[in-house]
Amino acid sequence: MDNMKVLTNGFIKENPVFILVLGMCPTLAVTSSVVNSLGMGLSTTFVLICSNIIVAMIKGFTPAKIRIPVFIVVIATFVTIVDMTMGAFMPALHKSLGLFIPLIVVNCVILGRAEAFASKNNVLSSTLDGISMGLGFTLALSLIGAIREVLGAGTLLGFAVLPKAYIESPMLVAILAPGAFITVGFLMAIINMMKKEK
Amino acid sequence: MEFLAKMMVMAVGAIFVQNFVLARFLGLCPYLGVSKKLDSAFGMGMAVIFVMTMASAITYLIQVYLLIPYGLGYLQTIAFILTIATLVQFVEMVIQKNSPSLYKSLGVFLPLITTNCAVLGVAILNTTAKWADGTPYNFLDAVLNGFFSGVGFTLVLVLMAGMRERLEYANLPKSMKGMPIALIVAGAMALAFLGFSGLKM
Amino acid sequence: MKYYIKLGLILLAVCALATGILAYLNSVTAPMIAEVKRVEAENARKEVMPDATDFVKKTMVDSSEVDTDLYFIAVNEAKEPIGYILTVALNGYSGVVKTVVGLKNDFSINKIKVIEQTETPGLGAKASTPAFAEKFVGMTLPQLMVKKDGGDIISITGATITTRTVTNSINAGIKRLEEVLKVEVTNG
């Protein structure tokens, strides 16, 4: 496997959200603002890199039969580490991501990559794969978060970007649940369109 | 009587107001992945109801009799996910042995449920959920909450599958076909379910 | 059979290792998380009672540590009581809304702060803004109802239920505190 290729795969060609359609729950649930998107994306990236490294390291002496439970324990450990450290150092973000931090465990991106990539490749390319997939995931989440925050609140990263009149009565639906589905739906359609033109 | 009223409040809350898929954003992977055909959606829904009810019961007992008394609250995530994974395996084995016909219709969905965040979600929510007067859920409440949340999941999954079967024949722009239009339809459905929020009993 | 015991042992070892790591990390972060929570609560109290220098913790229900059962007597530098701090909570439009209330000695509101809510973004969620808290400054018990119910609190546009929740929770909280203080006076 060409390492450079592994590193760039996750951004567009195999973007976990738009192309592989993995990890939809956090994608839709926490993207009501860019800050939340970034927090979720980076936490997932951290867990993804760490679990990929450990899985690639222990794949030699883990019997195939108990592979999945061992992977799950590894992932759950890192998720709990993120949960604790975020609670101690970033309490505000911890509060707004809430239930979705422990739920990183069942984010299909992580178990999917452990099973499909890290259990078959060496430590270095597994690390790169974790970085690539994680950042691709973060990128997708931030894009969705940016669109929803601008439309739904008239702000970006908390700063006003649209006229005051808009901020006072914005298109609220964009930060509510339906807006999440519709935004992601249109983004996927746009990506499909771009792929076809190539 | 009081019990029945409480149950009604919980049922309406879990199925309509705080619907797992459309309002809480849990269990989206199967919602988008297994909603292409009506009968597979129904099968998945039944399997989820079953596992969610069982998981609610077992994780509640683990939380109250193991994690809290020994001050192990921080192991919640690991303990719950392992329990759910084991439970799913166990259920699969039992069904396979005792009811081959049921296994044929549900079997393929069971392994998928381990990574269904709705199951872990309901287990964690049960430990923090409270009634309006501030009393935490007891064992029965937790089990019923798991059951009704599963019913809510099945309801929207089956509705979605019904719509997607028809969408197959719709004349859509090519780039909208498949996942994009499914998401937009889901958005319209979430909009409809938004009407339930704020429902007071 | 031997093979399965080996599998079980490997799994056990992995779990034990994970538990060990987490137990260590928990012992480091748990006090930090508790400290963050304490500082947060302290800051909320300071915010609704900026003149106070110290807060004396009291409880309304014997030996209860639930935050809605507690109240604080705010004292100034001269150790004179200048008011009370309450935490009140009630179910709003889509979940519990929790508010910290600062009261002067005459039970008029000094300042409030909504510290916890899951209301609709853009509508009920505006309850967390300073503009909303401003509506309550100086209000007394008879005024503490939304306009529709005959009081003086003007609702947030599109979020009457949230406004009513906050208002009614404060109203009930003040009444409860008055009862408790009355009992204490007769006892003491």
Domain assignment of residue C112, yes or no: yes
How far apart CA C159 and CA C132 sit, in angstroms, is 12
Q: For residue C153, give its domain range.
A: 49-187
The pTM for the full model equals: 0.84
For residues A154-176, give the mean pLDDT: 83
Q: Where are the alpha helices (DSSP H) in chain C?
A: 2-48, 130-134, 160-187
Q: Does residue C136 contact residue A192 with C-beta atoms inside 8 Å?
A: no
SS3 C53: coil
How far apart CA C19 and CA C21 sit, in angstroms, is 6
Q: pLDDT tens across A99-120, in order?
A: 888 888 888 888 888 888 888 8
DSSP secondary structure string for all residues of chain A: --HHHHHHHTTTTT-TTTTS---HHHHHHSTTSHHHHHHHHHHHHHHHHHHHHHHHHHGGGS-GGGHHHHHHHHHHHHHHHHHHHHHHH-HHHHHHHGGGTGGGGG-HHHHHHIIIIITTS-HHHHHHHHHHHHHHHHHHHHHHHHHHHHHHHSEETTEE-S-HHHHHS--GGGTSHHHHHHHHHHHHHHHHHHHHH-
Domain assignment of residue C33, yes or no: no
pLDDT in the model for residue B199: 65
Domain assignment of residue C7, yes or no: no
Given CB atoms, is C15 within the 8 Å cutoff of chain B? yes
> A153-162, B109-118, C84-93: which has the minimum mean pLDDT?
B109-118
Which positions 48-107 of C are in contact with A (Cβ < 8 Å)? none
Domain assignment of residue C32, yes or no: no
A153 to C25: CB separation less than 8 angstroms, yes or no = no
Domain assignment of residue C111, yes or no: yes
C-alpha distances in Å from residue A168, one per residue of A31, A165, C128, C153 = 21, 5, 16, 21
Q: pLDDT tens across B135-154, in order?
A: 788 898 899 999 999 999 99
Tokens of B64: 């109250």
Domain assignment of residue C162, yes or no: yes
pLDDT in the model for residue B134: 64
> Which is higher by pLDDT, B25 or A51?
A51
Confidence of residue C140 (pLDDT cuts 50, 70, 90): confident
Question: If residue C115 lies in a helix (H) or strand (E), which one and from where to where?
Answer: strand C109-116
How far apart CA A79 and CA A73 sit, in angstroms, is 10
pLDDT in the model for residue A45: 94
| β-bridge mates for residue A160, sequence order | A155
pLDDT in the model for residue C116: 82
Domain assignment of residue C87, yes or no: yes
How far apart CA C180 and CA C60 sit, in angstroms, is 6
| β-bridge mates for residue C184, sequence order | none
Residue-averaged pLDDT of chain C: 84
Domain assignment of residue C9, yes or no: no
Subunits that touch chain B (at least 3 Cβ pairs < 8 angstroms)? A, C
Which positions 144-173 of A are in contact with C (Cβ < 8 Å)? 152-153, 170, 172
For residues C48-73, give the mean pLDDT: 80
Residue-averaged pLDDT of chain B: 85
pLDDT in the model for residue A139: 92
* Residues from chain A contacting residue C15 (CB–CB below 8 Å): 73
Confidence of residue A147 (pLDDT cuts 50, 70, 90): very high
Report the Cα–Cα distance between both ends of chain B, in Å, rounded: 15
Structural domain spans, chain A? 3-146
Given CB atoms, is A167 within the 8 Å cutoff of chain B? no
C26 to B74: CB separation less than 8 angstroms, yes or no = yes
pLDDT in the model for residue B37: 83
Confidence of residue C185 (pLDDT cuts 50, 70, 90): low
How many structural domains comprise chain C?
1
Buried b (16+ CB within 10 A) or exposed e, B90-103: ebbeebeeeeeeeb
